[in-house]
Structure 1
Amino acid sequence: MFERFTKDARAVVVQAQEEARALRHDRVGAGHLLLALTSVEGTASRALTVHLPGFDGLRARVRTEIDGLDPDALASIGIDLTAVREATEAAFGEGALDGRRPKRGHLRFTPEAKKALELSLRVALKNGHRFISDGHILLALLMLTKSAPVRALSSSGADLDALAATTLGEITTEAA
């Protein structure tokens, strides 16, 4: 399957591992794939920019979904999670609040991330494409309706159907 990945899609997979390491996570999840899609210039980042200009707050929302911390619940008892995280990371580095050391070497993918990569192949084949681009990965993530990426995109105000249509349009244009 990976032989079908475009340069951008391969860069997303590598960047997802870096995102997981930076957050001191021991596995690469679907949320890390979305963070990588915002970092790697390509079809997906262009489509995301149309629907979420500047990706306002998306990184924080994805982290919230990955970490499982509820900033609203904490705020109700007087704790500003963003301020705590910023102060901790300023002093000790990104991901320090998690209390884990960054893992070196290969990071394994969660079942959900593996499913997203598998679905990207299915999306490509369904649309008659012989390659898998970063756009296919984004479309696959959007298919995982209960995933951290979808929850983060929805809470950011993205119209998921419009995002999928824009992404597919970009891929189709590239394939022509």
Structure 2
Amino acid sequence: MFERFTDRARAVVTRARDEARAEGQRPVGTEHLLLGVLADEDNLAVRVLRDAGVTADDLRTRVRRHTETGGMGLAEADAAALREIGIDLAAIVARIEESFGPDALREAVPAPRRRWGRRRHTGGPFSGRAKKALELSLREAVRLRHRHIGTEHILLGLLREGGGLGALVLSEAGVDLADLRRRVEAALAAA
């Protein structure tokens, strides 16, 4: 699949890996792919995001907030709704960390296992959602009858996957994902 990626799309994947490493996280998630897309200010996907009012700094802050709080994955509206019915998320997180230790809510990364003999491919450094988003970027390119996969196809794949932290932070930033999808497709048609 990666042979169909443009140089810019490959750079997005490389930047996404760098983002995940910089945070000390493994594997690469949809949020890292989104930040990788935003790193190159001159690509079509970034221009569409910028027109939609999205800034890289805002999204980076939103991603950091989610990953620093244990990655509960709750949107602001969800957290507000829970507060409204008397549930204090901060108190629950504090109590869990008191009982089970700091970062108890973070997804555990298994220690690498030593294997003797032939090494099997286990899926690489990508989370399930990130792999799905990359697969969907290929499907989007095929659907649009493009022979390449560019940054805009990666963005379309992230939007179509829709359940990862990348889509969540875009929604929190006030972006209508369906509208953003239409904008990307319109920009592709115009290009």
TM-score by length of 2: 0.68
2: distance between equivalents of 1:119 and 1:50? 23
1:149 CA drift (Å)? 1.1
1:171 CA drift (Å)? 2.5
Distance 1:55 1:108, change over 3 A: closer
Larger helix proportion, structure 1 or 2? 1
Give the corresponding residue for 1:19: 19
1:109 aligns with 2:126: yes
Give the corresponding residue for 1:63: 64
Consecutive unaligned residues in structure 1, runs of 5 or more: 80-97, 99-106
1:53 CA drift (Å)? 4.2
Distance 1:32 1:143, change over 3 A: same
Does the aligned pair in 2 maintain the 1:44–1:138 contact within 8 Å?
A: yes
1:7 aligns with 2:10: no
1:143 aligns with 2:160: yes
2: distance between equivalents of 1:138 and 1:130? 17
1:46 aligns with 2:47: yes
1:107-162 residue CA offsets vs partner (Å, 9 max, x unmatched): 71111111111110100001111110000000010012221111111111012122
1:158 aligns with 2:159: no
Does the aligned pair in 2 maintain the 1:116–1:137 contact within 8 Å?
A: yes
Equivalent residue for 1:118, pick from 115, 135, 138: 135
2: distance between equivalents of 1:53 and 1:27? 25
Does the aligned pair in 1 maintain the 2:54–2:173 contact within 8 Å?
A: no
Q: Which amino acid aligns with 2:38?
A: T
Give the SS at the match of 2:46. Answer: helix
How many residues are paired up? 146
Larger Rg: 2
Give the SS at the match of 2:55. Answer: helix
Does the aligned pair in 1 maintain the 2:39–2:56 contact within 8 Å?
A: no
Does the aligned pair in 2 maintain the 1:30–1:116 contact within 8 Å?
A: yes
1:32 CA drift (Å)? 0.5
Give the corresponding residue for 2:115: none
1:38 CA drift (Å)? 1.1
1:65 CA drift (Å)? 3.6
User: Comparing 107-116 with 118-127, which one deviates more in the overlay?
Assistant: 107-116
2: distance between equivalents of 1:123 and 1:112? 16
Does the aligned pair in 1 maintain the 2:30–2:165 contact within 8 Å?
A: yes
Superposed CA RMSD? 2.4
